Structure 1
């Protein structure tokens, strides 16, 4: 590729990925799959390394999350909320394991955790009480959404008396919505003539950024916590910290596993690649972390992610079926929504029979749909 071609491609990819970041993090309405986004991000990263003079200082490759919205107070994170490197195949996990062994030897363990498909959140507790809740934002600073987070029943507002927790600490996790709640609330939106959300992750993200906390309380959200941050290290391992915060009263996922080697990690991944469909909530992969905190410190960080952790992302399931007919649903407000009636097909553990088509332009211009098309 010539320098001129590289410059044009870098500029195009940078602009496109910034737009996708805005759609994902601010609007909570992504228009591209995680896999396609990561593929484009890797292409941009490779080009920037080959042609560093053309790299944008504010490139998506240097950013952790999205933008900070304007409706909330902006708060700087005490500890940056870094993102994880993503992989989609076992060989890259084996390569990751070999890099770890080369750096710290063979005497270490992994903790494997489900990767919840939700909204990252940092909670600050002072004297056992929830003091502040902040979104990831751009990784350095985020939106303070404490009032909204207080409506989530599984997040303790006050910790169990007598628990041996420090006076001040942060704990991080993922806010999400169970599929049953998503389906019920999305149906209400359609009935009211509103645009439905594409998936529970988008609905959860859109909900947590509402200005009306009473409306947030009406939408049932949940939260799993998985990361403790303190000024003074309290535990030797991540696994010990997970057990401790569970005793303090936090909602910690019980499916996490301690693995002695990469084979155990791969077995855990293969198990949940199919079993995830039996969960009541969505996961999009597995997070793998070196367990020992001293070894984590030895391995260190890159500019945007830890070297001691990686995310394995499941490939999105895709199936084909037949579009039998397009019908029209009239909501309570009189709004008319076109609906695709499909030949029933099993996808991600759910039988899909219908799909919202939003409007006529979606049917005729973008998708160019006809009855009996394969979709």
Structure 2
């Protein structure tokens, strides 16, 4: 097999195994077998640098150092969620929506709220091109290199997706990973992190992406923004995102 063919084949295979493990939670090969395939790909890419791809599975280990994070203006504003603590609040909210829509039946998609750091990821032609923090909602910091290290974030999409869109979601640090990180710090005699939300948020602004790669971050995506999207409801958008390879809340 030609080197270019083998490199392409290995990338496709590793992407699928990444998806099986980190999105579906249904691994089909052992960690050892995965590591052997990854080492083979790394060796081939080193031998044939003309086939470099910034979205290769080998790039998830990080290694890029960012001294200053560039400020990027969001093409579409990122909003924050309002809280409600009473039944009356919810009824008032529903009445306002119904008044705006008129005599149209309203359906709701209920989702869990994840406590982490908001992120907006831009895809063009099925490839991850940019990841930006929420910031003030109008502009945020570009953290693309750090986001690429999170294995549940697809670098390339599958299926029938729009040519360009932003997908928004939450970068989180699951409790078991957070507890393991703190245990390792305590064993070294260092101060543990205070809470998983702040640790997830702080991870996005680490200058060395290889340090981010060592943290057990996860990403759950739940809102798609763009022109001429192939769905009309939030629920259908979540289903589409799953088909494209995203990890989406149930």
Give the SS at the match of 1:133: strand
How far apart are the structure 2 equivalents of 1:233 and 1:248? 13
Residue 106 of structure 1: how far off its partner (Å): 5.4
Consecutive unaligned residues of structure 1, counting only runs of 5 or more, are 1-69, 255-375
Cross-structure match for 1:67: none
After TM superposition, the structure 1 = structure 2 runs for residues 215-294 of structure 1, keeping only pairs within 5 Å, are 215-254=211-250
Distance 1:115 1:136 in 2: 16
Q: Report if aligned partners of 2:171, 2:218 keep a CA contact under 8 Å in 1.
A: yes
The total of aligned residue pairs comes to 183
* Pairing 1:1-375 to 2, within 5 Å after superposition: 71-104=68-101, 105=103, 107-160=105-158, 163-254=159-250
Structure 1 or 2: more helix by fraction: 2
Distance 2:99 2:69 in 1: 45
SS at match of 1:111: coil
TM-score with structure 2 setting the length: 0.70
Two-structure CA RMSD over aligned residues (Å): 1.5
Larger Rg: 1
Distance 1:102 1:168 in 2: 33
Maintained 8 Å contact 2:162/2:229 = no
Please state whether the residue corresponding to 1:87 is helix, strand or coil: coil
Q: CA deviation at 1:93?
A: 1.0
Q: CA deviation at 1:71?
A: 3.3
| Aligned partners of 2:73 and 2:140 also within 8 Å | yes
Bigger relative contact order, structure 1 or 2, given CA contacts below 8 A and separation 6+? 2
For normalisation by structure 1, the TM-score amounts to 0.47
What is residue 34 of structure 2 aligned with on the other side? none
> Residues 106-159 of structure 1: CA distance to partner in whole angstroms, max 9, x if unpaired?
511111111100110000011111101000011111010110100101000011
Instruction: Identify the structure with the greater strand proportion.
Output: 1
Equivalent position of 1:338 in the other structure: none
- SS state at 1:204 partner: helix
2-side partners of 1:141 and 1:193: how far apart?
A: 39
Q: Distance in 2 between matches of 1:192 and 1:131?
A: 38
Q: Is the 8 A contact 2:149 2:213 kept in 1?
A: yes
Paired position in structure 1 for 2:58: none
